[in-house]
Amino acid sequence: MSTTVPAAAGEVREEVPRADGRRQDDRPRRMTDRARKERNLGWLLVGPAFIVMLAVTAYPIANAAWYSLFDFRLTDPDARSFVGLGNYMTILTDILFWRQFGVTAAITVVTVAVEFVLGFALALVMHRALYLRKSVRTAILVPYGIITVVSAYAWQYAFTPAYGFVNPLFGSDLDWFGGTIPSLVVICLSEIWKTTPFMSLLLLAGLAQIPSTYIEAAKVDGATAWQRFRKVIVPNMKGAIMVALLFRTLDAFRIFDNVFIMTQGANGTETLSFLAYRQTITRVMIGLGSAVSVILAILVFLIAFMFIKGFKVNLAEQRGS
């Protein structure tokens, strides 16, 4: 607890404050030469990556925020006018936005929930099966690596009445892409199929770090499989679960590829990302589209924030330990 603990190379010495709150040696802090060199080297190495990441995202986002304050149609540049928060008013008072917010939220909740359950099941199988473990891991990496667009086409074609195999298999003639709910079902299926492996791998990693002694002890105490699951496995995986859920939720909320390929947003399947795309690229209403993008970004950050606060798990702890 004293300041005589030798500092590791390059670390700034940790000082214990005096009772009156001032420093031990009441001199202005100075970094050691080595510390300064390390800091400069650190900045130098990190610099390029940092700059690229910042520049390529900061500029477009600032740009989007700026344009969102204008009524700006690309094909009518002379009519561009400043409207302040006008675009935001238009969006937030339009039932179309709320409808699509609902669709996006529904897709998110459904896919994440199903993926979580399925992913857990997959993780358990991979954890416990003694044989075929390698084959399973290889197999589930295929959905992970496959292009989302390809997955979208595969599922779309499977459910199209004209040439799919699903309808003949179940003897139905439902027009899957003729209505909102059936279309959403297929979209969710494609999304779930493709990203469950990712979820299951994260959960598997969490599973693998539970000491087997805990489980053995629970077995000895006479706990059933379900009780072991609930009381030993899940609580010890909180970190992994949170990370998995957080990333998947944010991904699901931003869904775009599957919707674009399968329905082009028709039949009420349009999501928020697609709304932003359509306003900006198809209608070339740059101002309005930028406002939708900004709103979407804010929503995503809000979700991330709520998640992190809600789970009360320190992300930094997860990382640096």
Partner 1 sequence: MARRPAPGGATARRRWSSPALRRVALATALTLSGVVLAACSGGDTSGAPQLTWYINNQGQQPLAEACNEQAEGAYEIETSLLPTAAAGQREQLLRRLAAGDQTVDILSLDPPFMAEFANAEFLRPFTDEEREEFSEGVLDGPLEQSVFDDTMFSAPFYGNTQLLWYKKSVAEEAGLDPESEPVTWDQVIEAAEATGTTIGVQGRRDESLMVWVNALVESAGGSILSEESEGRPADEVQATIRDEAGQEAARIMSTIASSSVAPPGLSTAGEEESRAAFQADDGGFMVNWPYVWTAFEAAAKTGAVDEGFRDDVGWARYPQVVEGEASATPLGGIGLSVGAYSANPDAAVEAIRCLRSPESQKEYMLTVGDPGAAGEIYDDPEVQEAFPMYEAIREGLTDAAPRPISAFYGDVTGAIQQGYHPPDRLSADSTPQATADFIEAVLRNEKML
Partner 2 sequence: MSADRKGQVFWIVGAVVIIAYALIPVAWIVSLSFKAGDDITNQRFWPTDWSWENYQIVFESDLFTSALRNSVGISLIATFISVVLAMFAAYAVARLEFPGKKLLLSLALAITVFPIIAIATPLFNLWRTVGLYDTWLGLIIPYLSFSLPLSVYVLSAFFREIPWEMEQAAQVDGATPLQAFRKVIVPLAAPGVFTAAILTFFAIWNDFIFGITLTSSEAARPVPAALAFFSGASQFSQPTAPIAAASVIVTIPVVILVLLFQQKIVAGLTNGAVKG
Q: Residues in the site for partner 1, rule: CB under 8 A? A: 71, 73-77, 79, 83, 86-87, 90-91, 94, 96-97, 178, 266, 275, 279, 281-285, 288, 321
Question: Smallest gap, in angstroms, from Cβ of residue 181 to partner 2?
Answer: 21
Query: Taking CB under 8 A as the rule, does residue 304 contact partner 2?
Result: yes
User: Which parts of 157-176 interact with partner 2 (CB under 8 A)?
Assistant: 157-158, 162-163, 165, 167-168
Dihedral sign from CA coordinates of 23, 25, 31, 34: negative
Query: Taking CB under 8 A as the rule, does residue 276 contact partner 2?
Result: yes
Rounded to whole angstroms, the Cα distance separating 26 from 36 reads 21
Q: Which does 135 bind (CB under 5 to 8 A by kind): partner 2, partner 1, none?
A: partner 2
Under DSSP, the state recorded for 308 is H
Site string for partner 2, 187-216 (x = CB under 8 A): ------x---xx--xx-xxx-x--------
Stretch that binds partner 2, among 22-30, 78-86, 87-95, 153-161 (CB under 8 A): 153-161
Is 268 within 8 Å of 103 (Cβ atoms)? yes
Query: Percent helix, strand, coil in the chain (nearest 5)?
Result: 70, 0, 25
CA-to-CA separations, 80 to 67, 287, 313, in angstroms, rounded: 10, 9, 47
User: Which parts of 110-129 interact with partner 2 (CB under 8 A)?
Assistant: 121-122, 125-126, 128-129
Say which amino acid occupies 32: T
Question: Smallest gap, in angstroms, from Cβ of residue 94 to partner 1?
Answer: 5
For residues 78-111, one letter each, b for 16 or more C-beta atoms within 10 angstroms of the residue's C-beta and e for the rest, the string is eeeeebeebbbebbeeeeebeebbebbbebbebb
Q: Which is nearer to partner 1, 192 or 259 (CB)?
A: 259
Q: Which is nearer to partner 2, 19 or 79 (CB)?
A: 79
Question: Smallest gap, in angstroms, from Cβ of residue 18 to partner 2?
Answer: 25
Q: Which does 182 bind (CB under 5 to 8 A by kind): partner 1, partner 2, none?
A: none
DSSP, collapsed to helix, strand or coil, labels residue 285 as strand
Dihedral sign from CA coordinates of 215, 219, 221, 222: positive
